[in-house]
Structure 1
Amino acid sequence: MSTDSPESGTTVHRRKKRKQYWKKANLFYCKHQILRIVLNDLGTEEVDPLEDEEWGLLWTDTTAPMSTILQLKPYQRCNHFPGMNEIARKDLLGRNINRMTKAFPKEYNFFPNTWTLPADYAELRAHMLATGNKKQTYIVKPDASSQGKGIYLTRSLDEIDQMGHIIVQKYISRPLLVDNLKFDLRIYVLVTSCSPLRIYLYREGLARFATEQYVAPTHSNMDKMYMHLTNYSINKNSENFVVDEDNKGLHGSKRSITSVLQLLQEQGHDSKKIWQDIADIIIKTMISIQPKLAHIYNTCFPSDHHANSVFELMGFDVLLAKTKGGTIKPWLLEVNHSPSMNIDTPFDRDIKYKLLTDTFTILSLKENEKRRSATTKNSGRLYEGKKTETKEAEHIDEKMKKLQTVISSEIKWCAGTDFDRIYLYEEDEKYKHLYVSVPTPETNASVARREKVMKQMEEREKKEREGKTVKKSKPPKPKEESTVVTVSPRRQKESPRMIHPTNSPKIVTHPTTDTTRYRLTDNVNPYESEVTVTKPIVAGFLPVLPKLKNPSTNDISPLLHIKTLTLSPRGSK
């Protein structure tokens, strides 16, 4: 930028002032006032996204739409990872933890036995009938609700809607009690990156108490929600709800976690061991979905050198229970990707104000923006001209240096907060064996569909052997001059054509010693090639070919998808 000096007539060069995006926040989808108070104290103002798009922070109370995530600019950050509902929804959390439990039963023994209905109804029914324990209590929850809505206890299968979208869990009937009251812990967790995974655990949190003295479930008290549920949204309506008058979190129906842990330490329990076990649960829960999170993130932000366009402040609900040996074992109940930031009491305000302040301290929006501005300005320099292996290696090295800069910055700023870094992938060998490809277990519905298809195929085989083939429409006459597969350049560039079941190709077989020759007609053009049979082909059940190889050139002509045939060049065995 240049201006003319009126006195000397000389040109004065002035440096253009850089915009400070971190000073603006988009809170259009946020209702919590405590967040506005914290950001205002940090020097960040709220802007209307319809009038000003140059904001640096997006905070929403619900999952951000994928369209919004994809439109984030390099200097903007959002408070929700796409795909985090894999543990934020009760049904998906149960499915992911159950999947990991089958692979690592000793590592993932912190989650109650869970069935997701309607898919797992048959398994639940078989379990309840096999155990025959009429004293076993189950807790039923809607699969995607919050704040204790729709939750009830039962011992009868008849009281469970087999077609409802619910989860059923074994009720933990031996919870740890304080003042003869059941309670759970709301643990705050900050995830700053999913690739690589970086997790920070907040030292303070909330202990939420039930408001009626606990008695083990019986037929007469299973409907007493103030006794069995610890949700604040439920118990705050109880006449027995107690507000801490000194606002220090030492008494009442909502207390600080540190006060509860100190009380347990005084009672002879190892509070440090309890806190370490809770951290272990958080790490393993995040690892259960890390591959999927990383895949979605890298798809949305392929050029994010710092891997921190998105962060997540989460709430893990943990219940402490007594084991038969007298020790205390933490159980994971659920995960909230948008923990409540309501400030009903001064005690609430103090904890959540400090929590949010420390969160933005670690995120370091101002410093992060400077790094990203430099990255955006210099992006692509390594790839100017022809790409070579050397330049690609330099690009990877540069990316790792920038990532290490971010990690060092987080560690530096974390030192002045109440957060503890509990997991960094590069430094933790203890959990690396959990990063394996664990297949998703089949549901009863998928098993039933597979068995039905196999049964239909067996029936068709039987009819074929008996000469009772299914009537089929006559295939179109193939072109006589087309005897082998020929692939033109124009055909290669075309996208795969879709052939509907009603327009399926027909196959004429001519058995040979090693291979089978098929003539494929797709109602437009005939193709002929030799293929190796890897699975029996049932007459009348027509698989369609994904690709055909030209016997002379091995060129691939894209057609349709099939998994039962492997194509081979003419003459190969």
Structure 2
Amino acid sequence: GRAEVYHLVRLALEQASGGGWVEAPAAVGDAACWHLYWSWGKPQVVRANLLTCQRFNHFRHARELTRKDLLKTNLARYQCLGGRMARAFGVLPPTFVLPKEYLAFAEAFGRAAFRGDAEPSGTGAAYGLVGAGTGMGVAGSSATLAARAAMMLGPAGRSSDRGAAGGDRSSTPSAANENIWILKPVGLSRGRGISLVREITDVTYGSACVLQKYVGNSMLLDGYKFDLRVYVLVTSFSPLEAFVYEEGFARVSSVPYSREAASTYDKAMHLTNSSLQKHAHDKGAAVAAAAREGEGGGTKVSLGYLWRRLAASGVDSARCWRRVKEVLVKSLVCVDDVIPNQPNCFELFGYDVLLDDTGKAHLIEVNSSPSLGVDSDLDTRVKLSLVRDIAKVVDPLAFSPAELVRTVTSRRAATAKAASRPQHHSAGLGMAAPSGAVQSGPERDALNRDLGRVFGEHEPRRYGVAPQDSGGFSMICPGSDAYRKVLRLKLAHLARGGRGSGRQPEPEQAAPPAFRAREAPNRPPRPGPVPAATSVRVAASASDRHLDRRRTGPRLR
């Protein structure tokens, strides 16, 4: 199981709200006596049986955001609209999903190789690449192009040793001309199966993988490559509500960066994933060692430390952070119409973002269930605070299980008694009044009294209203400048006569035939066993139900 997740979440919630959380027994299962359900995986919770005040930490169909191929597809839906939409949603480096986009990848690979060889204009016409949009060129098909590219690429992966003007090329060519790609298996995470590709012969046609163009001009920190691990908490899709955590990590490579061809396949230099860096031959982690205590550990430093270092070197770190948040917002907007509303759910996502030397932010991938493992004091400080602040934002509505059972039992008995009586028809309509409808002032007052006994005097937080205490989180959807900017762009496109880009989830995602992104019912998944070691069920103590806690979650109906 994921023992590190269990221990961290339990410790964080024990520290939150003055110890107002206790772990519910595993035997409660789907019973209505827990408030917050945290699991590493996706146990088969019967969502249709949940109360609106119970919160579960996974969305159905979140794979639309976290699977590398589906994320690329969803972003492409907006890019294919052209114009400003294409430029705005081009947040991924050039990416191809194999095997269905193998020919397009081969063409892009060959085009990059020839452009770096002797094609100063970038048109590719001299090499039969004018048919790039169709997969055919003057010289033939993309497969032919791939073969030609493979023959011309040397062991170092360059087309030749001659530059664009015909002179000698430097031994450290411009990163813009480097033809290096990163191969990632579609369904794996934590760096498993990832490799660097410099020759097209390294790619197998039938592989189910994603190929992403290597960003060669990445921003460096003390001569080391780094990327960002940014935490995003989504509390609602359709409508979209999301928060970004202001603290996080800069994951630094353990080998100084070099553009020499001999270093192309050195993963410890080019790939900053923490799971890969733990096995690097050089664990000196010079950058992290130079940070102050609590700001560095292993091969990671805190975001706060990174922004200070960049600002000291003349980089506009505030502008870089704004660009990162714009990337986060665009990625969420592009899946908001394919992930249905699920009022019981929230989820923490781990974004991997790369900054290039111009300060532009590139989205690398989005991870579900980001690692909560603790390997250093920095991990402990950031991740404990992260989970505590998630509890503050999600803040499930406290209720009394005993009062809930009493109220439901009483109202069921009253409903059964009313159903046994002759039905009264509405005058002139000949229609029976709904058995569960609240039709009169006294009945409505009685319902409100029952709800008051169950929930106290508290109300859930409205959508789009910032929590009274959000800890280290700040709202990015809605309300932020980045979100308003994207929304204006979408509205402008619709005003020009553009059509929506909604897409149904793929068939294997078990969507009902009449699925509509914003109207899909919360159909329960098939029940299955829930491993006790991989989940934490947390319930509020009896003494906590009367506390003046901020309410969050969907409005009760």
| Interval containing the TM-score (normalised by the shorter chain) | 0.5 to 0.7
* C-alpha separation in 2, matches of 1:86 and 1:98: 13
- Are residue 211 (structure 1) and residue 242 (structure 2) matched? no
| Structure 2 counterpart of 1:258, from 301, 304, 315 | 304
Aligned length: 386
Q: Which residues of 2 match residues 190-205 of structure 1 at below 5 A?
A: 190-205=233-248
Residue 57 in 1 paired to residue 105 in 2? no
Report if aligned partners of 1:196, 1:424 keep a CA contact under 8 Å in 2.
Answer: no
Q: Which residue is 1:569 aligned to?
A: none
* Alignment correspondent of 1:108: 89
1:78 aligns with one of 48, 51, 56: 56
What is the distance in 1 between the residues matched to 2:480 and 2:94? 32
1:37 equivalent in structure 2: 11
Deviations 1:312-351 (A, max 9, x none): 11111111102xxxx3111100101211000111210011
Q: What letter corresponds to residue 490 of structure 2 in structure 1? A: L
State whether residues 255 and 268 of structure 2, in contact with CA within 8 Å, keep that contact through their aligned partners in structure 1: yes
For residues 104-143 of structure 1, the aligned pairs below 5 Å read 104-131=85-112, 132=114, 133=116, 134=159, 135-143=178-186
Match of 1:418 among 472, 487, 493: 472
1:339-350 alignment to 2 at 5 Å? 339-350=370-381
- Higher RCO (CA-CA < 8 Å; seq separation 6+): 2
1:209 positional shift: 0.6
Q: Please report how far the alpha carbon of residue 50 of structure 1 lies from its aligned counterpart in structure 2 after TM superposition.
A: 2.9
Which residues of structure 2 form unaligned runs of 5+? 117-158, 160-177, 416-430, 449-457, 492-498, 507-557
**Distance change >3 Å, CA 386–CA 422, structure 1 → 2:** same
The more displaced of 346-355 and 246-255 is 246-255
SS in 1 for 2:235: strand
Give the number of the structure whose alpha-carbon radius of gyration is greater: 1
Q: Does structure 2 retain, via aligned residues, the 8 Å contact 1:28–1:48? A: no
Equivalent position to 2:384, from 353, 360, 381: 353
Counterpart pick for 1:290 among 329, 333, 336: 336
Mapped to 1, the partners of 2:253 and 2:93 lie a distance apart of: 20
Assess, with a 3 A threshold, how the Cα gap between structure 1 residues 147 and 386 changes in structure 2: closer, same or farther: closer
Q: Which amino acid aligns with 2:103?
A: A
Note if contact 1:74-1:373 (Cα within 8 Å) is conserved in structure 2.
no
Instruction: Calculate the TM-score normalised by the size of structure 1.
Output: 0.61
Q: 1:279 aligns with which of 320, 325, 340?
A: 325
Q: Deviation at 1:59?
A: 1.1
SS in 2 for 1:413: coil
SS at match of 1:430: helix
Describe how 1:553-572 pairs up with structure 2 within 5 A.
none
For residues 176-255 of structure 1, the aligned pairs below 5 Å read 176-216=219-259, 218=261, 220-241=262-283, 242=285, 244=289, 247-250=293-296, 253-255=299-301
Is 1:315 aligned with 2:289? no
CA contact (8 A) 1:363 1:410 kept: no
Tell me the alpha carbon deviations over residues 460-491 of structure 1, each in whole angstroms, 9 at most, x when there is no partner.
xxxxxxxxxxxxxxxxxxxxxxxxxxxxxxxx
Shift of 1:418: 1.1
Aligned-residue offset at 1:73? 3.3
- Deviation of 1:419 (Å): 0.9
CA distance in 2: counterparts of 1:342 and 1:105, whole angstroms? 38
Q: For 2:218 and 2:355, locate their aligned partners in 1 and report how far apart those are by CA, in whole Å.
A: 6
Structure 1 equivalent of residue 126 of structure 2: none
- Aligned AA for 1:159? D
Question: What is the CA distance between 1:58 and its match in structure 2?
Answer: 1.3
| Inter-CA distance 162–234: structure 2 relative to 1 (3 Å threshold) | same
| Structure 1, gaps ≥5 residues long | 1-26, 302-306, 444-573
* Partner SS for 1:126: helix
Deviation at 1:68, TM superposition (A): 3.5
Q: Deviations over 1:436-483 (max 9, x none)?
A: 622669x9xxxxxxxxxxxxxxxxxxxxxxxxxxxxxxxxxxxxxxxx
Q: Secondary structure at the match of 1:406?
A: coil
- Aligned with 2:339: secondary structure? helix
Indicate the residue corresponding to 2:513 in structure 1.
none
Percent identity, please: 27
**Structure 1 Cα separation of the partners of residues 480 and 256 of structure 2:** 46
Q: Secondary structure at the match of 1:230?
A: coil
Matching residue of 1:438: 501
> For residue 46 of structure 1, what is the aligned residue in structure 2?
23
1:169 Cα deviation from its structure 2 partner: 0.9
Q: Is the 8 A contact 2:232 2:242 kept in 1?
A: yes
Q: For the Cα contact (< 8 Å) 1:287–1:434, is it kept in 2?
A: no
> Following TM superposition, by how much is the alpha carbon of 1:28 offset from its aligned partner in structure 2, in angstroms?
9.5
Deviation readout 1:372-411 (Å, 9 max, x if unpaired): 979x97999xx99369xx99xxx9xx9xxx9984347743
Aligned amino acid, residue 56 of structure 1: H
Contact preservation (8 Å) 1:38, 1:357? yes
Distance in 1 between residues matched to 2:385 and 2:46, nearest whole Å: 29
Q: Which residue is 1:452 aligned to?
A: none
| Partner of residue 97, structure 1 | 75
3-state SS, counterpart of residue 163 of structure 1: coil
TM-score normalised by length of structure 2: 0.62
8 Å contact 1:315–1:336 — kept in the other structure?
A: yes
- Contact (CA 8 Å) 1:191, 1:198: kept in 2 or not? yes
Q: What's the CA shift string for 1:91-142, capped at 9, x where partnerless?
A: 1112212222222211112211110001111111222234434441111111
CA distance in 2, matches of 1:174, 1:192: 35
Partners of 1:216 and 1:239 lie apart in 2 by 19
Q: Distance in 1 between matches of 2:211 and 2:220?
A: 24
Partners of 2:106 and 2:200 within 8 A in 1: yes
**Superposition CA RMSD, Å:** 3.7
In the other structure, the counterpart of 2:206 is 163
One-letter amino acid matched to 1:431: V
Which deviations, in whole Å up to 9, do the C-alpha atoms of 1:127-171 show, x marking residues without a partner? 223443444111111111111111111122211011011000111
Equivalent-residue separation in structure 1 for 2:337 and 2:400 (angstroms)? 27
Q: Looking at secondary structure, tell me which structure has more strand per residue.
A: 1
